[in-house]
Structure 1
């Protein structure tokens, strides 16, 4: 998750920034070997950029700022309050160590514990024109950040499912004997065990095929650059929503049902098989998957796309 956020946050230099600004940010990131976190959660009230000599003063707090407390720089979005640009959305890049930037260390979820997704408070942080990555806009190519991060979620969920099954298979292979009513000598040879593993493996394989196809389609859209249309952007957003629906349900099911074949001993805390379920259960709540189902249904039935946002 942290790696995906790093790449997607950094990609805003290509999606949203002007070509000149994008090159500057990419060169700075490479030269300084930056890891990028973010503080852009749209469900909190916007951070306020108040006009000040030479730029702005940034104030406010953002929750769910993934990677912000561990990265070198933070992608920050908010709204200008006052002056000629009052009401405009602004995205900047600030160093985590800049005066006034205070990660609060309050991330206390049951899963994704190392994602550094706690809150960040900005206390009168000085922002200059050189910190600006982009002003908010609705040009289709510049808004591909959201499909990109949602695509990473779909692949994250797929990876959790793969990890849960891989650990489960290892545990089954290590089990001695079999259930006393079974006709098999070992659990790995029991038809019920093989049936469950086969079902979970097939579902993961189908999700992986979808993820690969959607990933290729997204790359093709990105390759069009400024020629990307609203229709292009809408179609890829729906494809990615489909992927998220499928991988969300697959990962939740695999991480839960794998215990059916690993046995009671796998419920020991020291085994750690619960890690996969805790991780998917935590991150799958990022934005309600039911609304992804509605997005897909509205598109299939009526050709409708949801308004562009940091979730759609």
Structure 2
């Protein structure tokens, strides 16, 4: 189908929804698994070493990019795979079993793709779809640290006489931007104070990205500082933040759920091999052979069941968000509103569940192996460090409170939130 035909279909469909062939309803999963599982295996081979050395997965991400991983959700008519969110979740879980840091590094890109899919119902996004298919990746630059109060943003985009904008500011936790061609930048438009999203090309002198993330987990996600100094942005690459896809918080959390599920599965896979190989036993154990000890096997079984539950939870959330996406594309406003709430609620529930499951698995593996499992050569501690870190980004204590408040009091769910210093209001300490 020609680009002219696609654009004509778009103009005719704006009132009723997206043309059927421009909706990502699902791909040939067996083909996707055959394409990406060998890459996942190669990523796993170097994961332990890269974690130990804090070496960024540039080669690994580039291989995924060239294989079309960044275009999984792009509709087939534009050259993408047309995968559903549920299918994407399964693949992200498998990728995270190999190395959850790579999934985390691509989180901002996948969310930006999802927003382009959402916007496509009302505004043609084919130029972005073609960029994704060509291999362009998008990083994330939203959070500011330091003397910034909740709800405020210091980064500005300022309109110039030629119509372009210049972006200036400093961001931290800019996950994935060090690997990316574009930055998904949250800023304030100087001319009217409106919060906006600016797609900023990283291929210019005004963008400096530093690998200064020093977390004890997720060491190789590239989640450091991005500095923008008069970085040029075309006006068509700026959108109003309020128009962002409404399930963005749930979608970002879905990436974490897949990471947690993958961490659990990766830990179980290593546990199984180590139990099979172990020959030393305890005099007060339950068997003369470690791999036949019923208590050891019980620990393996529980860990496997928890990993299964974590993946099932993540995929359930993915299916809810897929139904929301489909309702929007088809112009079904009632179902769209229904699934906006369901998506946020399911993602919050999933966070509560998968946080506990992933951390339990990452601890349980040591119960089934003994002190030798603490060897740095094995690197088993990375599973717990990664699980603990990914589970700390969006504090689960607040999400669990949100669930209870919604159930008991009918309090609306938060679809976007911010972090910063306390507000100076009603006597609160600034």
The verdict on a shared fold, with TM-score over 0.5 as the criterion, is yes
Contact kept in structure 2, 1:39 and 1:74, CA below 8 Å? yes
Q: Deviations over 1:76-105 (max 9, x none)?
A: 111112x2xx12111121221222111122
Partner of 1:137: 242
Contact kept in structure 2, 1:16 and 1:143, CA below 8 Å? no
Partner of 2:230: 124
Partner of 2:308: 205
In the alignment, is residue 28 of structure 1 matched against residue 131 of structure 2? yes
Partner of 1:254: 361
Partner of 1:163: 266
Contact kept in structure 2, 1:37 and 1:70, CA below 8 Å? yes
5+ residue gaps in structure 2? 1-103, 420-430
Return the structure number with greater strand share.
1
Q: Deviations over 1:253-311 (max 9, x none)?
A: 11112111112111111111111111111121111011110111112212322333157
Deviation at 1:232, TM superposition (A): 2.5
* Cα distance in 2, alignment partners of residues 35 and 29 from structure 1: 7
TM-score with structure 1 length normalisation? 0.90
5+ residue gaps in structure 1? none
Which of 167, 170, 176 in structure 2 is aligned with 1:67? 176
Partner of 1:15: 118
Partner of 1:195: 298
Q: Deviations over 1:111-152 (max 9, x none)?
A: 1122111110111112221322x212267xx22222111111
In the alignment, is residue 87 of structure 1 matched against residue 193 of structure 2? yes
Contact kept in structure 1, 2:178 and 2:222, CA below 8 Å? yes
Which of 387, 409, 412 in structure 2 is aligned with 1:280? 387
In the alignment, is residue 111 of structure 1 matched against residue 217 of structure 2? yes
* Cα distance in 2, alignment partners of residues 15 and 41 from structure 1: 23
Distance 1:74 1:138, change over 3 A: closer
Contact kept in structure 2, 1:42 and 1:310, CA below 8 Å? no
* Counterpart secondary structure, 1:143: coil
Contact kept in structure 2, 1:160 and 1:276, CA below 8 Å? yes
Bigger mean CA offset, 8-17 vs 147-156: 8-17
* Cα distance in 2, alignment partners of residues 95 and 269 from structure 1: 40
Contact kept in structure 1, 2:320 and 2:339, CA below 8 Å? no
Bigger mean CA offset, 181-190 vs 155-164: 181-190
* Cα distance in 2, alignment partners of residues 239 and 305 from structure 1: 14
Contact kept in structure 2, 1:287 and 1:311, CA below 8 Å? no
Cα-Cα RMSD: 2.1
Contact kept in structure 2, 1:15 and 1:144, CA below 8 Å? no
Partner of 1:37: 139
Report the count of equivalent residues: 305
